[in-house]
A and B are shown apart, each in its own frame.
Chain A
Protein backbone atom coordinates (compact mmCIF):
# COMPACT_ATOMS: atom_id res chain seq x y z
CA UNK A 1 0.00 0.00 0.00
CA UNK A 2 2.72 2.47 1.05
CA UNK A 3 4.61 1.65 -2.18
CA UNK A 4 1.69 2.64 -4.42
CA UNK A 5 1.41 5.97 -2.66
CA UNK A 6 5.08 6.63 -3.34
CA UNK A 7 4.62 5.90 -7.05
CA UNK A 8 1.62 8.18 -7.28
CA UNK A 9 3.50 10.93 -5.52
CA UNK A 10 6.32 10.52 -8.03
CA UNK A 11 3.88 10.74 -10.92
CA UNK A 12 2.35 13.92 -9.55
CA UNK A 13 5.77 15.49 -9.05
CA UNK A 14 6.92 14.60 -12.55
CA UNK A 15 3.73 16.02 -14.04
CA UNK A 16 3.94 19.35 -12.23
CA UNK A 17 7.64 19.74 -13.11
CA UNK A 18 6.88 19.47 -16.80
CA UNK A 19 4.11 22.00 -16.52
CA UNK A 20 6.51 24.36 -14.73
CA UNK A 21 9.09 24.07 -17.50
CA UNK A 22 6.30 24.69 -19.98
CA UNK A 23 5.28 27.88 -18.23
CA UNK A 24 8.91 29.03 -17.97
CA UNK A 25 9.33 28.69 -21.73
CA UNK A 26 6.08 30.53 -22.33
CA UNK A 27 7.37 33.40 -20.20
CA UNK A 28 10.72 33.45 -22.01
CA UNK A 29 8.97 33.57 -25.39
CA UNK A 30 6.74 36.37 -24.15
CA UNK A 31 9.69 38.49 -23.02
CA UNK A 32 11.66 37.80 -26.19
CA UNK A 33 8.69 38.97 -28.28
CA UNK A 34 8.16 42.13 -26.24
CA UNK A 35 11.88 43.00 -26.30
CA UNK A 36 12.04 42.60 -30.09
CA UNK A 37 9.02 44.90 -30.48
CA UNK A 38 10.83 47.56 -28.46
CA UNK A 39 13.97 47.18 -30.58
CA UNK A 40 11.96 47.73 -33.76
CA UNK A 41 10.59 50.91 -32.24
CA UNK A 42 14.08 52.40 -31.77
CA UNK A 43 15.66 51.01 -34.92
CA UNK A 44 12.71 52.10 -37.04
CA UNK A 45 13.60 55.77 -36.44
CA UNK A 46 15.96 55.72 -39.39
CA UNK A 47 14.60 54.58 -42.72
CA UNK A 48 17.66 53.75 -44.76
CA UNK A 49 17.72 54.51 -48.50
CA UNK A 50 17.94 51.62 -50.94
CA UNK A 51 20.96 50.85 -53.10
CA UNK A 52 20.47 47.51 -54.82
CA UNK A 53 23.72 47.85 -56.81
CA UNK A 54 26.06 48.23 -53.86
CA UNK A 55 28.41 45.49 -52.71
CA UNK A 56 26.93 43.60 -49.74
CA UNK A 57 28.74 44.02 -46.44
CA UNK A 58 28.30 42.65 -42.95
CA UNK A 59 28.41 45.00 -40.01
CA UNK A 60 31.85 45.24 -38.53
CA UNK A 61 32.46 46.13 -34.89
CA UNK A 62 35.39 48.33 -36.02
CA UNK A 63 33.05 50.59 -37.97
CA UNK A 64 32.48 54.00 -36.41
CA UNK A 65 28.77 54.41 -36.98
CA UNK A 66 27.03 57.78 -36.92
CA UNK A 67 23.24 57.95 -37.10
CA UNK A 68 21.49 60.95 -38.64
CA UNK A 69 17.75 61.00 -38.19
CA UNK A 70 15.08 62.54 -40.38
CA UNK A 71 14.96 65.72 -38.31
CA UNK A 72 18.72 66.16 -38.58
CA UNK A 73 19.64 65.03 -35.09
CA UNK A 74 22.91 63.14 -34.85
CA UNK A 75 23.41 60.13 -32.61
CA UNK A 76 26.03 57.58 -31.63
CA UNK A 77 24.72 54.18 -30.47
CA UNK A 78 21.30 55.71 -29.93
CA UNK A 79 22.63 58.65 -27.87
CA UNK A 80 22.04 62.18 -29.19
CA UNK A 81 25.37 63.93 -29.80
CA UNK A 82 26.38 67.51 -30.48
CA UNK A 83 28.98 68.45 -33.10
CA UNK A 84 31.62 69.10 -30.46
CA UNK A 85 30.99 65.75 -28.78
CA UNK A 86 31.03 63.99 -32.13
CA UNK A 87 34.40 65.53 -32.93
CA UNK A 88 35.75 64.32 -29.56
CA UNK A 89 34.44 60.81 -30.10
CA UNK A 90 35.83 60.63 -33.61
CA UNK A 91 39.29 61.80 -32.58
CA UNK A 92 39.31 59.40 -29.62
CA UNK A 93 38.22 56.52 -31.83
CA UNK A 94 41.00 57.36 -34.30
CA UNK A 95 43.57 57.10 -31.48
CA UNK A 96 42.09 54.15 -29.58
CA UNK A 97 41.62 51.94 -32.62
CA UNK A 98 45.05 52.92 -33.91
CA UNK A 99 43.60 53.48 -37.36
CA UNK A 100 44.02 57.23 -37.49
CA UNK A 101 42.72 58.64 -40.75
CA UNK A 102 41.85 55.12 -41.94
CA UNK A 103 39.06 54.86 -39.36
CA UNK A 104 36.05 53.39 -41.10
CA UNK A 105 33.36 56.01 -40.62
CA UNK A 106 29.90 54.98 -41.77
CA UNK A 107 26.92 57.33 -41.76
CA UNK A 108 23.43 55.90 -41.35
CA UNK A 109 21.22 58.67 -42.69
CA UNK A 110 17.47 58.61 -43.13
CA UNK A 111 16.47 58.90 -46.76
CA UNK A 112 14.48 62.05 -45.99
CA UNK A 113 17.28 63.76 -44.08
CA UNK A 114 18.32 67.08 -45.59
CA UNK A 115 21.85 67.13 -46.87
CA UNK A 116 22.79 70.03 -44.58
CA UNK A 117 22.57 67.64 -41.61
CA UNK A 118 24.77 65.10 -43.39
CA UNK A 119 27.13 67.89 -44.37
CA UNK A 120 27.61 68.86 -40.70
CA UNK A 121 28.67 65.30 -39.88
CA UNK A 122 30.99 65.15 -42.90
CA UNK A 123 32.52 68.48 -41.90
CA UNK A 124 33.23 67.17 -38.39
CA UNK A 125 34.93 64.12 -39.90
CA UNK A 126 36.95 66.30 -42.27
CA UNK A 127 38.08 68.50 -39.36
CA UNK A 128 39.26 65.35 -37.61
CA UNK A 129 41.21 64.40 -40.73
CA UNK A 130 38.93 61.72 -42.17
CA UNK A 131 38.39 62.14 -45.88
CA UNK A 132 36.82 58.82 -46.77
CA UNK A 133 33.27 58.31 -45.62
CA UNK A 134 30.75 55.58 -46.32
CA UNK A 135 26.98 55.80 -46.40
CA UNK A 136 24.90 52.85 -45.28
CA UNK A 137 22.10 51.72 -47.56
CA UNK A 138 19.88 48.68 -47.88
CA UNK A 139 20.91 46.41 -50.71
CA UNK A 140 18.15 43.89 -50.23
CA UNK A 141 15.38 44.17 -47.66
CA UNK A 142 13.99 41.08 -45.95
CA UNK A 143 10.53 42.04 -47.17
CA UNK A 144 11.67 41.99 -50.84
Chain B
Protein backbone atom coordinates (compact mmCIF):
# COMPACT_ATOMS: atom_id res chain seq x y z
CA UNK B 1 0.00 0.00 0.00
CA UNK B 2 1.25 3.37 -0.77
CA UNK B 3 1.98 5.33 2.29
CA UNK B 4 0.77 8.82 2.32
CA UNK B 5 3.62 11.19 2.70
CA UNK B 6 3.21 13.53 5.51
CA UNK B 7 3.79 16.97 4.34
CA UNK B 8 5.80 18.89 6.80
CA UNK B 9 4.38 22.20 7.81
CA UNK B 10 7.36 23.87 6.26
CA UNK B 11 8.12 23.07 2.64
CA UNK B 12 11.55 23.93 1.32
CA UNK B 13 11.40 27.19 -0.62
CA UNK B 14 8.35 28.62 1.26
CA UNK B 15 8.56 31.67 3.48
CA UNK B 16 7.56 31.43 7.11
CA UNK B 17 5.16 34.37 7.22
CA UNK B 18 4.45 34.24 10.92
CA UNK B 19 8.10 34.71 11.81
CA UNK B 20 8.45 37.51 9.27
CA UNK B 21 5.47 39.39 10.68
CA UNK B 22 6.90 38.91 14.14
CA UNK B 23 10.21 40.48 13.09
CA UNK B 24 8.37 43.29 11.31
CA UNK B 25 6.49 44.14 14.52
CA UNK B 26 9.73 44.05 16.45
CA UNK B 27 11.27 46.55 14.01
CA UNK B 28 8.18 48.74 14.29
CA UNK B 29 8.39 48.72 18.09
CA UNK B 30 12.06 49.56 17.95
CA UNK B 31 11.53 52.62 15.74
CA UNK B 32 8.50 53.81 17.70
CA UNK B 33 10.40 53.65 20.99
CA UNK B 34 13.61 55.16 19.65
CA UNK B 35 11.92 58.22 18.11
CA UNK B 36 12.02 61.11 20.60
CA UNK B 37 9.69 64.02 19.96
CA UNK B 38 11.37 67.28 20.87
CA UNK B 39 10.00 70.64 21.96
CA UNK B 40 9.93 73.48 19.46
CA UNK B 41 12.59 75.96 20.48
CA UNK B 42 12.99 79.66 19.91
CA UNK B 43 15.90 82.06 20.29
CA UNK B 44 15.26 85.49 21.79
CA UNK B 45 18.04 87.84 20.74
CA UNK B 46 19.27 90.83 22.72
CA UNK B 47 22.10 93.32 22.36
CA UNK B 48 24.46 94.40 25.06
CA UNK B 49 25.47 98.03 25.01
CA UNK B 50 29.03 98.18 23.72
CA UNK B 51 31.89 99.66 25.72
CA UNK B 52 32.10 102.86 23.63
CA UNK B 53 28.43 103.61 24.04
CA UNK B 54 28.63 102.92 27.76
CA UNK B 55 31.08 105.79 28.19
CA UNK B 56 28.72 108.22 26.49
CA UNK B 57 25.86 109.65 28.48
CA UNK B 58 22.80 107.66 27.47
CA UNK B 59 20.24 109.60 25.54
CA UNK B 60 16.83 109.27 27.14
CA UNK B 61 14.98 110.38 24.06
CA UNK B 62 13.01 107.60 22.33
CA UNK B 63 14.28 105.00 24.77
CA UNK B 64 11.78 102.90 26.66
CA UNK B 65 13.20 101.72 29.95
CA UNK B 66 11.83 98.57 31.44
CA UNK B 67 13.22 97.28 34.70
CA UNK B 68 12.77 93.65 35.70
CA UNK B 69 12.40 92.97 39.42
CA UNK B 70 11.92 89.58 41.07
CA UNK B 71 8.27 90.38 41.69
CA UNK B 72 7.31 92.68 38.84
CA UNK B 73 8.25 95.27 36.29
CA UNK B 74 8.56 99.04 36.00
CA UNK B 75 8.06 100.93 32.78
CA UNK B 76 9.90 104.25 32.64
CA UNK B 77 10.25 104.09 36.45
CA UNK B 78 6.51 103.47 36.99
CA UNK B 79 5.46 100.24 38.63
CA UNK B 80 3.31 98.08 36.38
CA UNK B 81 1.95 94.57 36.06
CA UNK B 82 2.76 92.09 33.30
CA UNK B 83 -0.68 92.56 31.73
CA UNK B 84 -0.44 96.36 31.70
CA UNK B 85 3.13 96.18 30.45
CA UNK B 86 2.03 94.03 27.52
CA UNK B 87 -0.71 96.51 26.68
CA UNK B 88 1.68 99.43 26.91
CA UNK B 89 4.30 97.69 24.76
CA UNK B 90 1.59 96.92 22.22
CA UNK B 91 0.61 100.59 22.13
CA UNK B 92 4.24 101.65 21.66
CA UNK B 93 4.79 99.03 18.97
CA UNK B 94 1.86 100.40 16.97
CA UNK B 95 3.67 103.76 16.87
CA UNK B 96 7.06 102.34 15.91
CA UNK B 97 8.47 98.81 16.22
CA UNK B 98 12.03 100.12 15.92
CA UNK B 99 11.95 101.90 19.25
CA UNK B 100 14.87 101.21 21.53
CA UNK B 101 13.92 99.18 24.56
CA UNK B 102 16.44 99.32 27.35
CA UNK B 103 15.92 96.39 29.70
CA UNK B 104 17.46 96.66 33.13
CA UNK B 105 17.51 93.45 35.09
CA UNK B 106 18.22 93.34 38.80
CA UNK B 107 20.61 90.75 40.18
CA UNK B 108 17.98 88.81 42.10
CA UNK B 109 15.48 88.64 39.24
CA UNK B 110 14.94 85.26 37.72
CA UNK B 111 15.80 84.42 34.14
CA UNK B 112 12.17 83.43 33.59
CA UNK B 113 11.00 87.03 34.23
CA UNK B 114 13.48 88.34 31.66
CA UNK B 115 12.36 85.78 29.08
CA UNK B 116 8.73 86.64 29.78
CA UNK B 117 9.50 90.27 28.93
CA UNK B 118 11.47 89.28 25.82
CA UNK B 119 8.51 87.15 24.76
CA UNK B 120 6.19 90.16 25.10
CA UNK B 121 8.58 92.18 22.93
CA UNK B 122 8.66 89.36 20.36
CA UNK B 123 4.87 89.32 20.34
CA UNK B 124 4.79 93.07 19.64
CA UNK B 125 7.59 92.77 17.03
CA UNK B 126 9.87 95.05 19.03
CA UNK B 127 13.38 94.11 17.96
CA UNK B 128 15.72 96.82 19.25
CA UNK B 129 16.34 95.33 22.68
CA UNK B 130 19.32 96.04 24.90
CA UNK B 131 19.90 94.32 28.21
CA UNK B 132 21.92 95.78 31.04
CA UNK B 133 22.22 94.59 34.59
CA UNK B 134 21.18 96.72 37.49
CA UNK B 135 23.05 96.61 40.77
CA UNK B 136 19.88 96.83 42.81
CA UNK B 137 17.56 94.17 44.23
User: Which residues of A does B touch, CB under 8 Å?
Assistant: 7-8, 10-11, 14, 18, 21-22, 25-26, 28-29, 32-33, 36, 48-59, 68, 106, 109-116, 118-119, 122, 125-126, 131-142
Interface size range on B against A: 35 or more
Is B122 on the interface with A (CB-CB < 8 A)?
Answer: yes
Q: A11-B8, A122-B133 are in contact. List 19 more A-B contacts (CB 8 A).
A: A21-B26, A25-B29, A50-B119, A51-B116, A52-B119, A56-B41, A111-B115, A113-B111, A114-B108, A115-B68, A115-B108, A119-B107, A126-B51, A131-B47, A137-B43, A137-B115, A139-B40, A139-B42, A140-B40
Residues of chain B touching chain A, judged by Cβ–Cβ distance below 8 Å, are 8-10, 12, 16, 19, 22-23, 26-27, 29-30, 33-34, 36-51, 68, 105-112, 114-116, 118-120, 122-123, 131, 133
Assembled-state Cα–Cα distance A54/B26 (Å):
40
Say yes or no: A21-B122 contact (C-beta < 8 A), given A14-B16, A55-B42.
no
A112 and B111 CA atoms in complex are apart in Å by: 6
Instruction: State in angstroms the CA–CA spacing of A138 and B116 once bound together.
Output: 11
A57→B43 contact, CB < 8 A = yes
A54 to chain B, nearest CB (A): 3
A-B contact count (CB 8 A): 165
Which chain A positions have C-beta within 8 A of B43? 54-55, 57, 106, 134-137
Q: Is the CB of A36 within 8 A of B110?
A: no
Given B10, B42, B44, B111, which contacts A115 in the complex, CB threshold below 8 Å? B111
CB pair B47–A132 under 8 Å, yes or no, is: yes
CB<8 Å pairs between A and B, sample of 25:
A11-B10, A14-B16, A22-B26, A25-B23, A29-B26, A29-B29, A48-B39, A51-B118, A53-B119, A53-B122, A110-B111, A111-B110, A111-B112, A114-B110, A116-B108, A125-B48, A126-B48, A132-B48, A133-B48, A136-B41, A137-B43, A137-B44, A137-B118, A138-B41, A138-B42
Question: What's the nearest-Cβ distance from chain B to residue A33, in Å?
Answer: 6
